[in-house]
């Protein structure tokens, strides 16, 4: 598997991150913020290590963790952009014209 990753131009970077999970009457969310100075681009994968997955109702949790970012290579990035564009164009095919059933 490592051979394919290298052939596709993939590389991995380990970065610190902040995980925020909240389950209160005001908000229900989970966010991961990378503490590194680079942007996630199409095709990139992020895996957060040892992250909590939930909090009890009424609580908010913020923890520091490590994440592994696998950067997509040029071919994979182009393929992801193309696939995303094609998925989006499927939404345009929805008809909003009025139809009557008899």
How does 11-48 read in b/e, with b if 16+ C-beta sit within 10 Å?
eeeeeebebebbbeeeeeeeeeebeeeeeeeebbeeee
Q: Would you state the pLDDT for residue 1?
A: 47
Q: Would you state the pLDDT for residue 24?
A: 94
Cβ proximity of 41 and 61 under 8 Å: no
The answer, yes or no, to whether residue 10 has pLDDT greater than 90, is: no
pLDDT confidence bin for 101, thresholds 50/70/90: low
The answer, yes or no, to whether residue 98 has pLDDT greater than 80, is: no
Question: Which range among 17-26, 30-39, 61-70 shows the weakest confidence by mean pLDDT?
Answer: 30-39
């Amino acid at each position: 598997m490592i051979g394919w990753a290298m052939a596709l131009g993939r590389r991995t970077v380990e970065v610190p991150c902040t995980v925020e999970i909240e389950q209160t009457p005001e908000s229900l969310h989970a966010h991961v913020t990378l503490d590194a100075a680079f942007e996630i681009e199409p095709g990139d994968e992020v895996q957060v290590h040892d992250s909590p997955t939930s909090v009890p109702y009424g609580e908010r949790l913020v923890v520091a963790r490590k994440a592994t970012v696998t950067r997509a290579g040029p071919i994979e990035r182009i393929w992801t952009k193309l696939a995303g564009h094609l998925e989006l164009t499927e939404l345009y095919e929805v008809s909003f014209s009025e139809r009557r059933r008899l």
